[in-house]
Structure 1
Amino acid sequence: MSAPTFRGVHQRLAQKPPGTPPDFRPGRTLRLRVEFVRQLRRRRTQIAVLVVLALPIIVALAFKLGGTPDQGRDGPTLVDLATTGGSNFALFVEFAATGFLLVVLVALFCGDTVASEASWASLRYLLAIPVPRARLLRQKLTVALALSFGVQLLLPVWALAVGTVFFGGAPAKSPVSGSFTGSESLWRLGIVVVYVCGQSLVVAALAFLLSVSVDNPLGAVGGATLLVVVSNILDQITALDPYRRYLPTHFNYSWLDALNQKVVWDDMMRGTGLALIYAAVFLAIAWLRFERKDITS
């Protein structure tokens, strides 16, 4: 069936006998493919991908121009080992991007998705098609998470390729437990990427909650980013023990335990559980708020 906004569709509907319901299936509205292509064509998506592609090249050139990092007094760190091979370079780029860049990108994709429709005054028209509210949120969130996980996967894969070109394909070296084999290096990098994606669910869910609550995309993106900044600051205050263990960013870097000779899962399991709880609460509030909200923008 043609979309209700196409020319001539309303005239054909008007020709139906009075009382005949329109041939309309709410479950076929706002298809994932259409929304995904629409979001891919947006300028902010293209700029985000360019930033992710440019970052490893800029970092690699910085190491080439600046020379080999000096080893710290307490032993090597990720930055000290970044030039020893592609795997270590990818781990360092992931370490450098986790704290802020990936947070901003996830907040951008998930915080802009509904709020942008409100700012363009097109949200009420989407609901008037009518797209069921729960379906609209589900489709929007699915595409936003796909883009968020996509850039988080693209960054280490591209960094691994760039690092291999600049510094060779040597297996990863751990700052604490020697070297890994080639396959083991990829396995450890995979653990890191999956864990970082899991931790990003907190930012994604909060940004989505703010996106259904405000009409300004900048407010939703900035609010989610501000949460991470404040949480990181509070996490540095050791006097808050043991309460700081419940901060949403306390376990963000627990993936470093994957670089031990034997993977230590304890903190990563705690971090994953905490992230899922925060994400579930934020998304539940977002659904309830949007279902009861009077869309006037």
Structure 2
Amino acid sequence: MTASTSPPTSDTAPAAPPPPAGEAAPGYRPRRTLPLRVEAVRQLRRRRTLVTGLILAALPFVLIAAFAIGGEPEQGGQRINLMDTATASGANFAAMALFVSAGFLLVVPVALFCGDTVAAEAGWSSLRYLLAAPVPRSRLLLSKLAVALAFSAAAMVLLPLVALAAGAVAYGWGPLTLPTGGTLPAGEAVVRLGIAVAYIFTAQLVTAALAFWLSTVTDAPLGAVGGAIGLTIAGNILDAVTALGDWRELLPAHWQYAWVDVFQGGLEWDGMLRGASVSVAYALVLFALAFRHFRSKDIVS
């Protein structure tokens, strides 16, 4: 008898060889994994985003109620500040709202959005599934960082925008009364407010970077958020120690109110430029540490 020479059936056909090591699967595009839109929608639906937005939007109305109960601020002192001119116009009220919130209230959403983003995924044990999608680690961090910074910027804009609208209704739409004397037209005052908001956001990049780095180090979101806020407060305390002399200029907290210079007759850029350079320098180092640590982090642990 002769051996059968019929071709092998589909059940006995050899399997296709796997792709060579290091070669991506057909159709795989790393840049198309975890789109920014998907990450933004995920973060927008979270309860802490809604609560943060409501608090920032409610603050101007709380301040208006406080002025209605306590009366308009007196201007009898030798030196007039933004608080003394708060009820002069809607622009003055928005500038005052920035002044009272920039030191702490606006720090919280930045630390929350940037510190909670990676640590929360690790705490929920969903981070490993994102990476198994597979989403490259650098792509994952870039997406989360971009969305966190975008939400932080939105928080910075929301407060003065609501304050400007509410202040215009309560105190009228008019020129901005400068603490140093004189006024600015309403249109130019809005531009100055925009410059102030842009600087505040730049100054808060240190807090954002610190929170983001801590978020890659710990699996506890409260640890990352609280650590960033605590170290920011520590910087403010160190800046108050006058014995440090010129060394305080190396602290980001030393320049956090440099934006007040925009509410003068002529724009003063020196303090804001120096403060922005210090903030960006610290932020770049901390962001680099975050990417370096996350690249070798054991996600399964």
- Band the TM-score falls in, shorter-chain normalisation: over 0.9
> Hey, what does 2:211 align to over in structure 1?
207
Alignment of 1:175-186 (within 5 A): 175-186=179-190
Q: Secondary structure at the match of 1:215?
A: coil
Among candidates 153, 157, 170, match of residue 153 of structure 1: 157
1:19 aligns with 2:3: no
Among candidates 194, 198, 202, match of residue 194 of structure 1: 198
> Hey, what does 1:9 align to over in structure 2?
none
Deviations 1:237-258 (A, max 9, x none): 1111111110121100001111
Q: For 1:113 and 1:101, how far apart are their aligned partners in 2?
A: 19
Contact 1:177 1:259 in 2 (8 A): no
Code of the residue aligned with 2:228 in structure 1: it is A
1:249 aligns with 2:253: yes
Q: For 2:231 and 2:76, how far apart are their aligned partners in 1?
A: 32
TM-score, normalised relative to structure 2: 0.91
Cα shift at 1:52: 0.9
Q: For 2:88 and 2:17, how far apart are their aligned partners in 1?
A: 75
Cα shift at 1:73: 1.9
- Which runs of 5 or more residues in structure 1 are unaligned? 1-15
Q: For 1:223 and 1:287, how far apart are their aligned partners in 2?
A: 18
Deviations 1:71-129 (A, max 9, x none): 25223211111111100000000011101111011000000000000000111111111
Q: Secondary structure at the match of 2:59?
A: helix
> Hey, what does 1:138 align to over in structure 2?
142
> Hey, what does 2:104 align to over in structure 1?
100
Code of the residue aligned with 2:132 in structure 1: it is A
> Hey, what does 1:236 align to over in structure 2?
240
> Hey, what does 2:49 align to over in structure 1?
45
Cα shift at 1:17: 4.2
Aligned-residue Cα RMSD (Å) equals: 1.3
Q: Secondary structure at the match of 1:115?
A: helix
Code of the residue aligned with 1:25 in structure 2: it is R
Cα shift at 1:23: 4.2
Cα shift at 1:182: 1.5
Q: For 1:27 and 1:231, how far apart are their aligned partners in 2?
A: 38
Give % identity. 52
How many residue pairs end up in the alignment?
282
Q: For 2:26 and 2:51, how far apart are their aligned partners in 1?
A: 41
> Hey, what does 1:167 align to over in structure 2?
171
Among candidates 108, 116, 120, match of residue 116 of structure 1: 120
Among candidates 280, 283, 300, match of residue 279 of structure 1: 283
Contact 1:115 1:220 in 2 (8 A): yes
- Which runs of 5 or more residues in structure 2 are unaligned? 1-14, 20-24
Tell me which moved more, 136-145 or 239-248: 239-248
Q: For 1:34 and 1:238, how far apart are their aligned partners in 2?
A: 48
